[in-house]
């Protein structure tokens, strides 16, 4: 069964620095998709970035990028030049690529606090 683990419960950084959030996953599939979502203080959940397992290049969107280490089953989220508004809870998620369905499993989340 698929599983996603985020061991960092919370991280505190200073504004304008770079932060990396860790995520490891377990899957039997050779094809899968990895996602990061952000949940703001208001409770809103938004999609940030996706990595397809068959792609070797790390995905990048704005000041979010991924560190995909397939042999380690690891997908880290890197936020560069952090801003106060990046303070939120970040969830890692995975969907297996088989035809059995589109179930997505989420990690327990990492709370990021960005201070001025």
Judge residue 50's burial from the number of C-beta atoms within 10 Å of its C-beta, 0-12 exposed, 13-18 middle, 19 or more buried. Answer: middle
59 binds another protein (CB under 8 A): no
Shortest separation between residue 74's beta carbon and another protein, angstroms: 18
SS3 state at 25: strand
For another protein, the closer of residues 64 and 106 by Cβ is 106
Q: How many residues bind another protein (CB under 8 A)?
A: 22
Please compute Rg for the chain using Cα positions: 14
Report in angstroms the alpha-carbon separations of 70 from 66, 73, 99.
Answer: 12, 5, 22
102 binds another protein (CB under 8 A): yes
Shortest separation between residue 6's beta carbon and another protein, angstroms: 8
Q: In the complex, which residues of this chain contact another protein (CB under 8 A)?
A: 6, 33, 35, 37, 43-47, 50, 91, 93, 95, 101-109
């Amino acid at each position: 069964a698929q599983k996603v683990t985020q061991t960092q419960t919370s991280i505190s950084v200073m504004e304008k620095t770079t932060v990396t959030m860790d995520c490891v996953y377990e899957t039997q599939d050779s094809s899968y998709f990895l996602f990061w979502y952000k949940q703001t203080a208001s409770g809103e959940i938004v999609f940030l970035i996706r990595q397809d397992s068959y792609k070797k290049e790390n995905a990048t969107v704005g000041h979010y990028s991924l560190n995909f280490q397939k042999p380690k089953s690891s997908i880290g989220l890197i936020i560069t030049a952090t801003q106060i508004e990046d303070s939120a809870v970040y969830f890692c998620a995975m969907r297996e690529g088989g035809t059995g369905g589109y179930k997505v499993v989420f990690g327990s989340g990492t709370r990021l606090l960005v201070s001025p």
